[in-house]
Amino acid sequence: MSDILDRLAETLEARKQAAPDSSYVARLYAKGTDAILKKIGEEATETVMAAKDDQPEKIIYEVADLWFHTLVLLAHKGLKPADVLNELARREGLSGLAEKANRHE
């Protein structure tokens, strides 16, 4: 799965050199951080609505939109999916350590 994220991150990086009106992502970068944050807010709301309606396909579709726009934000801020995956791995390690500690109590 991280292959897909890495490929998408490369495309998002390349869009930084593209003319603002040449693609959706290039247009979003040109509009700036607030426009990206607005899309994240909209997609988060649409995800909540899909979940409330209990529509699995719609939930997947909206979460894909939400993840996509958070990836655009990461790229815009000079960050990569691996930075987030590393943070999740670090937390997994921490919870693993906590579990071990609990077992030895």
Ligand X SMILES: N=c1c2ncn([C@@H]3O[C@H](COP(=O)(O)OP(=O)(O)OP(=O)(O)O)[C@@H](O)[C@H]3O)c2ncn1[C@@H]1O[C@H](COP(=O)(O)O)[C@@H](O)[C@H]1O
Q: List the interface residues with ligand X, window 36-65 (CB under 6 A).
A: 39, 42, 65
Interface segment toward ligand X; rule CB under 6 A; list 7-15, 47-55, 78-86, 95-103: 7-15
Report how far residue 76's alpha carbon sits from residue 67's, in angstroms, rounded to the nearest whole number.
Answer: 14
Q: Does 68 engage in binding with ligand X (CB under 6 A)?
A: yes
Q: 73 near 36, Cβ under 8 Å?
A: yes
Both tokens assigned to 10: 């490369």
Find the shortest distance in angstroms from Cβ 39 to ligand X: 6
Q: Does 67 engage in binding with ligand X (CB under 6 A)?
A: no
Q: Which of 63, 67, 74 is nearest to 29 (CA)?
A: 74
Both tokens assigned to 85: 């995956």
Question: Rounded to the nearest 5°, which phi and psi values hold at 19?
Answer: -65, 140
Query: For ligand X, which is the closer residue by CB, 25 or 74?
Result: 25
Query: For ligand X, which is the closer residue by CB, 48 or 94?
Result: 48
Distance, C-alpha 10 to centroid of its chain: 14
Q: Does 70 engage in binding with ligand X (CB under 6 A)?
A: no
Please give the residue ranges that form the binding site for ligand X (CB under 6 A). 8, 11, 15, 23-26, 39, 42, 65, 68
